[in-house]
């Protein structure tokens, strides 16, 4: 864990693998978690944005979190998503994460309706009461609730709120958040603004396309942290077309397809998510090949003859 702060570094928003009959493949999940850690990722976030948690039964969500904790090697943080329609559901998922041995939780606001600010604050108070570090998850396009900097400043007064995953892509929010609640870390939540946010002080990255190219993602993140723009900018430019898929409505399908293109098991999504249409699928394949070519190690030549 990064100095006792498991939400920092590169956390991968992991996909949920399904068998051909669309049942959850826990063996495949555990292999993927171990591989991500071996590739240098600092942690994983099951049942989050691309984990298709809304398509899982309660028993399946419980099993996914437990299997992830069991598979994660020492030093690899597990920060499950605890999204739910209401505070009762979110608190129960936070309890389940604590029981499983998770290191924190990734908590969206109440799901499915436009909650009032006071209700959102009460929601986070319920989740934080469990005692695990809470990363607020701001993705208003998905949850219909925008955790604005002013609202987050109020939420940040709750003990246990340690960070926010910022998905809007508005870099200006980072500066406002650092001014209003400097004790709360900002994490890049949209892959395609990683460089901008890290250079301005983001303390971590909840990464999506890292499911397919984790070593490349970690390399990019570390170059950004080191402010090595001479190497970070050209790499970012080559990876950016692929990273951009994380900000599209078809992000889950794109990530799973990218995994397959990179030689990993991506597999199917559960309905109603279907496969990408032909032109989009072909574009994902081209973007993956471009990223792989940009990050390939130069072939070592043989001895001079």
CA nearest neighbour of 183 among 162, 202, 197, 166: 162
pLDDT value of residue 132: 98
Look up residue 81 and give its DSSP letter.
B
Residue 300 has pLDDT above 60, yes or no: no
Between helix 87-100 and helix 58-71 the angle, nearest 10°, is 30
Instruction: Over range 156-181, report the average pLDDT.
Output: 96
Look up residue 53 and give its DSSP letter.
G
pLDDT digits (tens, 9 = 90+) for 7-59: 999 999 999 999 999 999 999 999 999 999 999 999 999 999 999 999 999 99
pLDDT value of residue 116: 93
Look up residue 71 and give its DSSP letter.
H
CA nearest neighbour of 25 among 63, 76, 78, 81: 63
Residue 111 has pLDDT above 90, yes or no: no
Query: Which residues have CB under 8 Å from 300's CB, separation 6+?
Result: none
Residue 144: pLDDT band with limits 50, 70, 90: confident
Beta pairing class for 134-138 and 105-107? parallel
Residue 241 has pLDDT above 60, yes or no: yes
Instruction: Over range 107-122, report the average pLDDT.
Output: 90
Residue 246 has pLDDT above 50, yes or no: yes
Residue 156 has pLDDT above 50, yes or no: yes
CA nearest neighbour of 157 among 189, 130, 192, 122: 122
Instruction: State pTM to two decimals.
Output: 0.94
Residue 302 has pLDDT above 70, yes or no: no
Q: Using CA atoms, how far apart are residues 300 and 206, in angstroms rounded to an integer? A: 34
Residue 76 has pLDDT above 50, yes or no: yes
Residue 210 has pLDDT above 80, yes or no: yes
CA nearest neighbour of 48 among 252, 290, 302: 252
Q: Using CA atoms, how far apart are residues 56 and 53, in angstroms rounded to an integer? A: 5
Instruction: Over range 271-281, report the average pLDDT.
Output: 96
Instruction: Over range 107-121, report the average pLDDT.
Output: 90
Residue 304 has pLDDT above 50, yes or no: no
pLDDT value of residue 3: 60
Q: Using CA atoms, how far apart are residues 192 and 166, in angstroms rounded to an integer? A: 12
Residue 305 has pLDDT above 50, yes or no: no
Instruction: Over range 254-264, report the average pLDDT.
Output: 97
The alpha-helical segments, DSSP class H, found in the chain are 26-38, 58-71, 87-100, 117-128, 140-143, 149-155, 172-180, 194-199, 214-225, 229-243, 251-261, 278-295
CA nearest neighbour of 287 among 249, 261, 265: 261
Residue 1: pLDDT band with limits 50, 70, 90: low
Phi and psi for 116 in degrees, rounded to 5? -70, 155
Q: Using CA atoms, how far apart are residues 189 and 206, in angstroms rounded to an integer? A: 5
Residue 83: pLDDT band with limits 50, 70, 90: very high
Instruction: Over range 140-162, report the average pLDDT.
Output: 95
């Amino acid at each position: 864990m990064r100095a006792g702060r498991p939400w920092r570094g590169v956390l991968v928003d992991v996909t949920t693998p399904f068998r051909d009959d669309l049942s959850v493949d826990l063996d495949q999940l555990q292999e993927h978690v171990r591989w991500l850690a071996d590739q240098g990722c600092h942690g994983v976030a099951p049942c989050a944005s691309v984990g298709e948690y809304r398509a899982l039964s309660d028993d399946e969500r419980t099993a996914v979190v437990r299997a992830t904790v069991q598979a994660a090697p020492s030093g690899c943080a597990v920060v499950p998503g605890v999204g739910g329609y209401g505070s009762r559901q979110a608190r129960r998922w936070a309890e389940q994460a604590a029981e499983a041995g998770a290191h924190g939780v990734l908590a969206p606001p109440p799901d499915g309706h436009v909650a009032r600010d006071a209700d959102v604050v009460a929601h986070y108070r319920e989740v934080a009461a469990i005692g695990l570090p809470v990363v607020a998850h701001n993705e208003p396009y998905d949850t219909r609730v925008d955790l604005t900097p002013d609202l987050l400043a109020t939420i940040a007064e709750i003990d246990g709120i340690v960070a926010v995953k910022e998905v809007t892509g508005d870099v200006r929010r980072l500066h406002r958040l650092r001014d209003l609640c400097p004790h709360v870390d900002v994490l890049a939540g949209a892959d395609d603004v990683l460089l901008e946010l890290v250079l301005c002080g983001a303390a971590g990255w909840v990464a999506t396309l890292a499911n397919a190219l984790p070593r490349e993602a970690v390399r990019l993140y570390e170059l950004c942290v080191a402010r090595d723009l001479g190497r970070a900018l050209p790499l970012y430019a080559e990876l950016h077309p692929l990273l951009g898929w994380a900000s599209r409505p078809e992000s889950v399908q794109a990530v799973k397809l990218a995994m397959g293109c990179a030689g990993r098991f991506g597999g199917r999504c559960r309905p109603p998510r279907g496969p990408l249409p032909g032109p989009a699928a072909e574009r994902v394949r081209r973007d993956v090949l471009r990223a792989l070519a940009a990050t390939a190690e130069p072939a070592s030549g043989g001895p001079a003859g």
